[in-house]
Each structure stands twice: as C-alpha cells, then as structure tokens.
Amino acid sequence: MATRPKIDSGIEAFNNDLDKPWQFEEDGYTVTRGCAWSAPGCHPVGCGIKFYVNEDGILEKVEGDENQPITQGRLCVRCLTLPDMTYHPDRVIYPMKRAFEDRGKNKWERITWDEAYEIIETNIKDIKEKYGPESIVVFGGTGREGGPMCGPYGQAMLGTPNSCYTQSGYACYIPRVAAATFVTGATYPEMDYAGGLPGRYDDPMYKIPEVMMTWGKEPLPSNGDGFFGHSVIDCMKRGSKLISVDPRTNWLATRAVYHLPLRPGTDAALGMAMLNIIISEGLYDEEFVSLYCYGFEQLAERVATMPPERAAEICGIDVEDIYGATRMYANAQNAAILWGLAIDQKANGAQAGHCILALEALTGNLDVPGGQLLGDVTDSLADLGFGWSSLGPELQNKIIGLKEYPAYVAIVLNSHADLTLEAMETGEPYEIHAGFIASTNLLAGTCAAQPKRWHDAMQKLDFVFAADCWITPTIQCCADVILPLATFAERESGVAVHYGASPNMTGSVVNAVQVGETKGDLEIQYEIGRRIMPDNYAKFPTLYDFMEEFRFGNNIDYNELKEEVTRQRKVTYKKYELGLLRPDRKRGFNTPTGRVELYSTMFAQFGEDPLPYYEEPQRSPISTPELMEEYPFVLTTGSRVYAYFHSEGKQIPLLRELNPDPWIEINPKDAEKLGIIDGEWVNVENEFGRCELKAKITPVVRQGLANAQHGFWFPEEDAEEPHLYGVWRCNINNLMPHKFVGKLGFGAPFKCIICKIEKLNK
C-alpha cells in the first residue's frame, strides 16, 4: 500500500483527523464524515466533509475532511456555509400544497408526505389516463443529485418518455459527451489528476502533466462536471505549465505561458488550425495514429483548409501565439486539455469538441498518465437509462424531438429542450398537461433561454409538483405541491466523482442530521415510483435495495461505503491496448471502426459532416455586420463564481456578501465611451430581450466583449406574481434566443450572442 499522499497545507504536522472512523465523538459533538453532492453547492465532486452535530441534533458546524483523497480537507464557501442554509428560515422543510387558483401567490399550506403523495398520484394518474403518459414532462436541472435523475424520474417513476433538461440545445456537457462518444466511443475524457491513485500525485503510476490547456473552462470556481478545479493549482505547483484558451483574461490566464483570447464562438477555427500545425509539422504520435486512428488523411485534408493565419484572423488573436501554443502542447511528453462549457454553448460546438478530441488523440494523450483519462466501458452512473425499456416502443417513439434530432434524444434520453417548449406552447405533436420541477430553477437565468416563454407555458399546465430546498421563482410561478429536498447532510446516497464517468472515487452521502421532514431524491423517486409505476420498483423491497442497484450498480454495499467514506477506483491506463474500452473486450476503441474516428462515421450517420468545420455564430461581427451598429458587443454569459451554484445560495448572507448583485464585465475603454462608471446599473439589450446588470469595469474582457453573470434572483423581494422575486429584471437569459441550435440539435449561443449596453437612465 502506498503511503499517504502529501497534503499541501501540511496538516500532517498538526493535530488532525486522519484515519478517524466515519463517526466519532469530540468535545460534545457527534462528528460524522461524508461527502458532498448538491443540494447545495456543486457538481459531483464529492468533497470530504465532517458534520459536527451537537447533543440537540443540530448541525453546528462543518469542517473539510482531510481523509478525502482528492479534496484533502479543503472546502469552498458553498460547503462552509452549509449550517446557515440548513436552518435558514426560508427553507422548505415540510411538504406543502397550494390551491390551483393561488398559483403565483405565496399561499402555501403545510401537509403530510402522505397527503402530498396522494395529490401527486391522483393528478398524475388522472392526466395519464386523459391525455396519455407522454403529456407529462420532468424539468431537470444540472449538477445536483436530482440532475442526472431527470431521466429516471420521468421514465421509471412517472412513466413518461419526456424528461427534459430545459437549456436550449442542451448547451451543457452533453454536446461534449456526444462528440466524445461519436469520436472515441467513450464519454467525456477528463484530465487525469490521479484522483483514483492511492498515492495521488506522488503515485508511481502517475506523471504530472507537462502542459495543461484550459479551453473555455474556468475550473477553479466551477468544478465543472465534478472535476475538483483546484487540482489545476496542485499540478501547477508541481511543475505543470499552462495554456489558456479563453476570451477573458481570467486569473488563470495571467499564470499561463500562452493566453489565446479568441473571439467567442470561434473555437472550431482555432482547433482546426492547431490540428493543421500538428499535422503539417509532423508533431503527432505516428504509432498511435497508425494503430488507433481512423480517417487521418481526410482530417489532414480538411484542416489544410484552415491555415493558422486564417484562424488568427477569424479568432482575433496573434498567429504566432497559435503556433507557439500548439507546439508547446504537442511537444509535451504528456498534456491534458480541460475543455469546458464554452464548447457546448455554440451551435458549432460539436465541431470544436471534435477538434479537441482529435488534438488529444493525435498527440497520444488519450488514456495516459497526466493526459485524458477514459472511462472503462462499464463506467458511469448505474442509473442512466433506468426505466427507459419499461416504457415500451410506442411511448419511447413519442419522445419529443426523436424525429428532428435523433442524435440528441438518443444520447441522453431526453426530450429536446427547444421542441419541448414548442410542444407546451402549441400542443404539437401533442399537448403537455403536467410537470415535475426536479431540482431546477429554470426561469431564473440558469438554463432556459427565453425564460418568460417557459414561464407562460408552464403556468398553463394542469398540474405541477416540485422538489427543492427553497420556494424558487420557478416553483412560485406554477407548482401545486412542493416536496422538501434534503441536503447532503440529511440523506443517504453515494457520489461518484464525474458522474462515475472516469475512474476516480466514490464517496458516501450520509444523514448526519434530520431537518424537518426533508427527503433525498432517491427516496422521493422510490416512494412516488412505487405508487405510480410499481412494476419498475417491485424488485426493491427496501430503499437500500433500490439505492444499491440504482446508485451503485450493485457493486458497492452502502453500509460498507459509509464506514469507508471514500473508495478510490482502480485506474488502468491505455485501456485501448487491453480491450477494456469495448464490450467485446477487443483491443481498440468502442466506435464502429474500433478506432478513434477522426473521420466520424457516427456524425455521418446522423447526417452531420464527418469532419470538423468552422461556422460563424448566428450573431457576430462577421455573420451579422448590419446588426453590430445597434448591438456592438459580443456577449458571453454564465461564467462561474465561488459564491453560488447557479441560482442557488442567494439567501445565505455570507455568500450574498461576496456577490450582492449580478454584474456585467465591460472593458474600461468601452465604459468610458459609454459614460458608464463602475458599479452603475446598466441596460443590456438585444433583439431577443433585455435585462439590468451592474457594470463591473475591468480589462478581464477585451474591447467589444462583455461578460454577464447568470442565475440571479432576489429572495428578499416580493415573492408573488408578477414580480416573482425580481426574476425578470436581471435575467440574462431574456437575451438568449430560442432554438439557435446546431444541426444535430446540440448547442446554443449562451456564450456568443450580441448586445448593446447603455446607461439605465439616459
């Protein structure tokens, strides 16, 4: 067994809790160790956390658990303030109902779980009978345990095919997953940061990446897709050099050897140019390419159409920096690309993703230590697709968007977001009558584009129920029943880092305290499912039986995991040499050709170009020069902050203090031209809508670029319609167009639209 890895804060030298059991007594507290998975806080990073519960059963404080191999005791502000959220007076801790005619009013009445379940069962069964099961939509969110449960909530628990993550073009993660699946046959290949190795960075199997290239990703505050963002800092301290591809000069970019501040939305042009350089200068791994890649010649021919000089012009960056960064990346012994949300948030994103995967493959960085870690063919959350087969072919074929966007619908078993809105509005292909708001605040500038349209459509539904920790604007608008959702200190479950998509770690989620009558997503799904779709749950006599299959694929015993708290997963590199990437256990990759498909037969099969190409964003100085006089700014949105997980956390004073108001970053020269001073409220507007934000004047953005914060609402303001906690005033998604998606239905321009900015009171 390897020795314990070094912890950067040097905690070994202090009185610490290393090697303590999962539960122990200290100074009158019962201390329970577990791992975090929102609600509240984050994606499945599984940060280690110790809950200090006093004699009265109150969670008095939390402390980071130094035993967690990845986070090693470190915690962000969202976890540190957990006790403040747990006992916040506004928190929903009992089931509640509201009369249909009181929708939009703050008239909630406490009920029992039984009554809540009765109401849900009666209404859902009634609507299914009258209009068919497909008339129900589950509205899902991101990151929380309830996020990936969106599919099963619909397919298994309610019996509808229409589970819907409501962001236009599913512009979050899934476009990257789709590109990765089509090109490599594996899911999103995360940077390898030794999360599964007992010795972590010092493990003999591991090698620190010589180069890390962040591409449209700010991992430090976002922990995107469950990646512990500060692993980047761990690696930099150990010698990794950085390349930053980002329109903004964020803090990491100031520590980069190369910073390529490309114009938003031009990523595919840059990617093609980098491939061009690597191929024309012979910087690729010839052995890997000849043994494991398909379509090299066709790719070479295609990227020859994108000389670096042309890309430099398109992207608005220095051509020498493109050459320099590409050579630095390609010449490194091992290198990792951290490619983020920005790839998903453009119609041309699948092609940008294709380029990035090709870069990783050509340079031989797939599944090597300190490169991109691939998931075993058996990896990923056990729950994905749970219940789908029980629907039967007739209902399966009714999923909204199957005809128009089969690639989208098939890869994530979700109804297409934009078409789901249209169905709710028009009754085509059929009417939608009920909804379940499952851990999403979609109206609050989080995911839905044109949120007012979603609001109006959701208000018309005959019956809506919701599960959350708060009465959000989305719930206040249209829910009839709220189920109180447990935090990760109040429920039993497990968290697999990266949704289990790469071999890192699985941690326990524990119920250290009981708060009111809250329940977790697993319990809610199990209990409602047994009422409405009993056949799907008949084989699980208890909640534990359900959890162990649904959450752990029957590979982990929850009680064992609870005692271990964290369990690292076995890491094997170069799985393509060992037959571990394919169900038939043959060497190679799990694609139709058995190779990394630089020329993608899957893209071709879905009617998409099998090779990467560049396309301008639908609104840009190049594609719509006639609009630029009125809307001179290129607008990017959704960059993350430490204080909040999207719309969550606005009620917590110590979080709100860090970020009291939503801002828009404007370059000092642009601000001067417009007579805007720092901290002034401004009008931000385009042809699709408007909102008000506070000017943050900073050279982080170049001239002509603006970056707006998302996900703001004001829990302290009037709760009721039409104000709805001020949800429309600062809602940047008012400016996001409906159905500006890519050819396969993926991607939407949340990070590449245009707008004007002006003083609010001209």
Partner 1 sequence: MAYGLLIDYEFCTGCQSCEVACKEEHGIPVGQWGIRLLDDGPWKCSDGKYNWNKIPVPTRLCDLCEDRTSKGKQPFCVHHCLAGVMQYGTVEELAKELELKPNQVLFVPQPYHYG
Name which position in 77, 127, 347, 359 contacts partner 1 (CB under 8 A): 77
| Residue 255 or 739 having the CB closest to partner 1 | 255
User: By C-beta, is 84 or 115 nearer to partner 1?
Assistant: 84
Binding partner 1 (rule: CB under 8 A), the pick from 105, 107, 237, 669 is 237
The residue count of the chain comes to 762
Q: Both tokens of residue 27?
A: 């100074």
DSSP state of 352: H
58 counts as binding partner 1 under rule CB under 8 A: no
Does 80 bind partner 1 (CB under 8 A)? Our answer is yes
Should residue 283 be labelled a site residue for partner 1 when binding is judged by CB under 8 A?
A: no
Q: What's the closest the beta carbon of residue 656 comes to partner 1, in angstroms?
A: 8
- Contact with partner 1 (CB under 8 A) among 94, 642, 681, 688: 642
Determine, following the binding rule CB under 8 A, whether residue 564 of this chain makes contact with partner 1.
no
Binding mask 411-450 for partner 1 (x = CB under 8 A): ----------------------------------------
Shortest Å distance, C-beta 704 to partner 1 = 17
* Sequence-distant (≥ 6) Cβ neighbours of residue 96 within 8 angstroms: 108, 109, 110, 111, 481, 482, 484
Which range in 14-22, 31-39, 475-483, 620-628 contacts partner 1 by CB under 8 A? Answer: 14-22
Dihedral through CA 678, CA 683, CA 684, CA 686, nearest 10? -150
Residue 649 in the binding site for partner 1 (CB under 8 A):
no
Comparing CA positions, the residue from 699, 713, 655 lying closest to residue 82 is 655
> Does 73 participate in binding partner 1 (rule CB under 8 A)?
yes
Phi, psi of 365 (to 5 degrees): -100, 5
Of 15, 49, 51, the residue nearest 31 (C-alpha): 51
Angstrom distances, CA of residue 275 to CA of 190, 214, 351, 434: 20, 17, 13, 48
What DSSP state is assigned to residue 371?
A: S
Considering the complex, state which of residue 77 and residue 666 has its C-beta at the smaller distance from partner 1: 77
Contact mark string toward partner 1, 202..221, x via CB under 8 A: ------------------xx
> Do 38 and 488 meet the contact criterion of CB atoms below 8 Å apart?
yes
Q: Among all chains, which residue has been given the structure tokens 């905690």?
A: 11
Told to check if 8 binds partner 1 by CB under 8 A, we report yes
Q: State which of residues 16, 106, 333, 426 lies at the interface with partner 1 (CB under 8 A).
A: 16
Q: Which residues contact 194 (CB under 8 A, 6 or more apart)?
A: 200, 201, 203, 206, 571
| 64 touching partner 1, by CB under 8 A | yes
| Cα–Cα distance, 390 to 449 (Å, whole number) | 32
Interface with partner 1 (CB under 8 A), residue from 21, 61, 109, 301: 61
Q: Does 54 bind partner 1 (CB under 8 A)?
A: no
- Shortest Cβ 484–partner 1 spacing (Å): 24
481-484, strands of its sheet edge to edge: 109-110, 96-97, 481-484, 463-468, 434-438, 136-140, 163-165
H or E element at residue 536: helix 534-537
Q: Closest CB to partner 1 among 691 and 700?
A: 700
Instruction: Name the burial class of residue 68, with classes exposed (0-12), middle (13-18) and buried (19+) by CB atoms within 10 angstroms of its CB.
Output: buried
For partner 1, give the closer residue by CB, 321 or 431: 321
Q: Which of 410, 654, 677, 760: binder of partner 1 (CB under 8 A)?
A: 654
Q: How far apart are CA 429 and CA 422, in angstroms?
A: 9
Does residue 238 touch partner 1 according to CB under 8 A? no
Interacting residues with partner 1 (CB under 8 A): 7-11, 14-16, 61, 63-64, 66, 72-77, 80-81, 83-84, 220-221, 230, 233-234, 236-237, 249, 251-255, 642-643, 653-655, 657-658, 698-700
